[in-house]
Structure 1
């Protein structure tokens, strides 16, 4: 069994590295001017298509929070002359797969289809994108599902911590509220609101496309126009940048549970910051690499205060944060908070070691090729690169950028970025020894 697992894992590594080495991106421009990035792979008769519309749920109209999320969930619930069941049957008959999702910064459409049924799959996807029905029966059913999620989140400590932190950090910006909306805002949404929400975000002036698989540049260029022409030329204005307004301290949200959850953080770095790679490596050492991370060692292994703790950079389009999360028993969460602050401050003051840097770089450069394990992930990566403004030749140079970061770089960024005295902790539970400071 062990030998079989090792053989399988080695084969997977070899396949991933081969895929990584074979990634050659071409830029394709359709007759109408729609651009996409393409990786041709003709060994399997299958295509993955990733479409992104920048802006996402942050483009909800005032007073209509949750409209774009609800609209996105309804795109497969009937279109053209098909109800939801007929659409699903047609999709499955083609062995195609479509998914629609949305977050704060983008609306995502993922499509997987066979080369032999490409025309039929694209026609069906176009119908969903351009001619959704938004029938009242479907609206009522999906509204009920969304409202059930909202109700569940009100009872989940992690969701409460996340929503409280966002509200405190972002004030009146869309980032301050949940993309699902509230029970009241969702209940009030109409069919007209959903059509308006679609036009606000699904527009050609904020479109990014990646494709990977058994398709030529000429065929992709034709596909782009066939699929996407007919969308509005422009959508709603993008949100403004926001500077988080949290002050250092603690916010306690009382909640009956034997274990408190703490979400903490302060300002971070945008992804186009020259120091982002150094910050990325720093976070791997501090809280982003599981049991090897400093926070895990000090808070869990040395003191047994938690089963898990981690930190992560959050470079959203209109705000950049550096966040972390930990949970601990109510009578130990105060100590977990204090040790976290100490590790944060010590890393800023004393930096990291050459050995820690070397191990982090080895981990990050070794893990990167594993992301290229199929057409879907490759198409997804290409769209992300475009949205981040990365060059088309970024993939073969990315690991060089990681390896070029020096110990001096990381420790300089640690001293500038890690500000223990600025950390704000939102603690949900019944924490002993912690009280709200503001």
Structure 2
């Protein structure tokens, strides 16, 4: 068994996480159960009613992210979201901004690789007007040329700034190496060329094809009854098309085992080490969570941070995590170090991976990080209305059960040192893709 010394800070954090949870004044909803219901219009949603504060929060998502875009119009999902919040058919930008302020509506729309996201928040005394305005934004977008031009100009400026960032250039290289010709290889924000090619009709086409009820997931929480929530949801989403007509996307065939380098005159060298991931429905998922958290999570006191940072002074820290997307799963570790220390840092990291696969962790280590995972989830996902409503939508997108908040704890508690070692052998038997960015980076 590996018996790496555990600094007091991580022992204290793991012990305090569940203790602090008991002392925090969390919203009453944290003690409530998620409820699934169907609106009169036939739309399914999850909700929690909590009358403690006069606030209503909603989160929603459509399966209409950047993976669904035409390659030549990459970035259209993000532009569609941004332009929709500029104006409606009835309200120009100034009028919409004034109305949003008048009714106290906080409305956000965005798009990532996989999903088109939305969130709304308002007070219960303005709920009727605020959610009516949200419905207008969602059902009557203007998509005017001047709105598109204004939003696109900002997006292109951001792309030009990003192009000067070596980490952004490295990410493009990494995406291409990992994903090949899959849509994940494209930058989510698009390129200057693809954004320039987009016209208002492209926004309308993506909106009509992608914002549909069949892929819609909704969470709503706060001072709202089921009947009131149903009326809000039907008004906002009931008139949207029933079925999406966006193209289907294949599961990504992940290419692992490449050595990549971006030479750039930086004061430090960055390393990114990527292994095949584990899907959330895989029995090894929870042992993998414990493993990765033990190696590179939980702040500076993880195994890799102890060995690389504290003992050898090779870097300021090592991070890591499971990246679960709609069409791929990856596990990635990263660190930055002085150029002359890059090779040694990578060797130490690889040795730790090999050692934990061969010897496994101790029971004390596994118990420690299980407690941390349970406590941190409660704080991050259940400790606020924003966290709760987002968790409701994310859990639906992942096809998790209504009681997952409870069953997740049971699944983590069932993890043993033997299961962690077994998943370490599974993960680290692969040759990773290693990306180096720095002044002396070579493949």
- Which TM-score band (shorter chain)? over 0.9
**Secondary structure of 1:307's match?**
strand
Q: Structure 1 residues 17 and 140 mapped into 2: Cα distance closer, same or farther (>3 Å)?
A: closer
1:99 and 2:99 aligned: no
2:257 to 226, 229, 247: 247
Distance 1:382 1:41 in 2: 15
The equivalences for 1:67-78 within 5 A come to: 67-78=76-87
Distance 1:338 1:10 in 2: 38
Distance 1:402 1:11 in 2: 19
Distance 2:182 2:48 in 1: 37
Aligned residues: 424
Distance 1:18 1:138 in 2: 39
1:211-267, Cα deviation, whole Å (9 max, x unpaired): 11011111111211111122122221331101211324x211121212122222021
Contact 1:59/1:200, CA 8 A, preserved across alignment: no
1:125-179, Cα deviation, whole Å (9 max, x unpaired): 1111111112222211111111111112212232222221111110111111111
The equivalences for 1:217-228 within 5 A come to: 217-228=226-237
1:205 to 191, 209, 214: 214
2:324 to 312, 315, 336: 315
Q: CA deviation at 1:62?
A: 3.3
Distance 2:116 2:25 in 1: 28
1:303-323, Cα deviation, whole Å (9 max, x unpaired): 211112111111111111111
1:375 and 2:385 aligned: yes
Counterpart in the other structure of 2:69 = 60
Counterpart in the other structure of 2:7 = none
Contact 1:309/1:325, CA 8 A, preserved across alignment: yes
**Secondary structure of 1:258's match?**
coil
* CA-based RMSD: 1.8
1:435 and 2:442 aligned: yes
Counterpart in the other structure of 2:248 = 238
**Secondary structure of 1:239's match?**
coil
**Secondary structure of 1:113's match?**
strand
Structure 1 unmatched ranges of 5 or more: 1-8
Contact 2:288/2:420, CA 8 A, preserved across alignment: yes
Contact 1:61/1:197, CA 8 A, preserved across alignment: no
Counterpart in the other structure of 1:28 = 37
2:182 to 147, 160, 173: 173
Q: CA deviation at 1:59?
A: 0.7
Distance 1:16 1:251 in 2: 48
1:366 to 355, 375, 390: 375
**Secondary structure of 2:84's match?**
coil
Structure 2 unmatched ranges of 5 or more: 1-17
**Secondary structure of 1:27's match?**
strand
**Secondary structure of 2:100's match?**
helix
Instruction: Normalising by structure 2, report the TM-score.
Output: 0.92
1:119 and 2:142 aligned: no
Contact 1:17/1:369, CA 8 A, preserved across alignment: no
Distance 2:103 2:181 in 1: 45
Contact 2:30/2:383, CA 8 A, preserved across alignment: no
1:333-390, Cα deviation, whole Å (9 max, x unpaired): 2222222222222222222111110110111122222132222211111111111111
Contact 1:161/1:263, CA 8 A, preserved across alignment: no
Contact 2:27/2:383, CA 8 A, preserved across alignment: no
1:158 and 2:167 aligned: yes
1:272 and 2:304 aligned: no
Contact 2:56/2:224, CA 8 A, preserved across alignment: yes
Distance 1:18 1:117 in 2: 21
Distance 2:92 2:323 in 1: 39
1:355 and 2:329 aligned: no
1:385 and 2:392 aligned: no
Distance 2:407 2:20 in 1: 24
Instruction: Normalising by structure 1, report the TM-score.
Output: 0.93
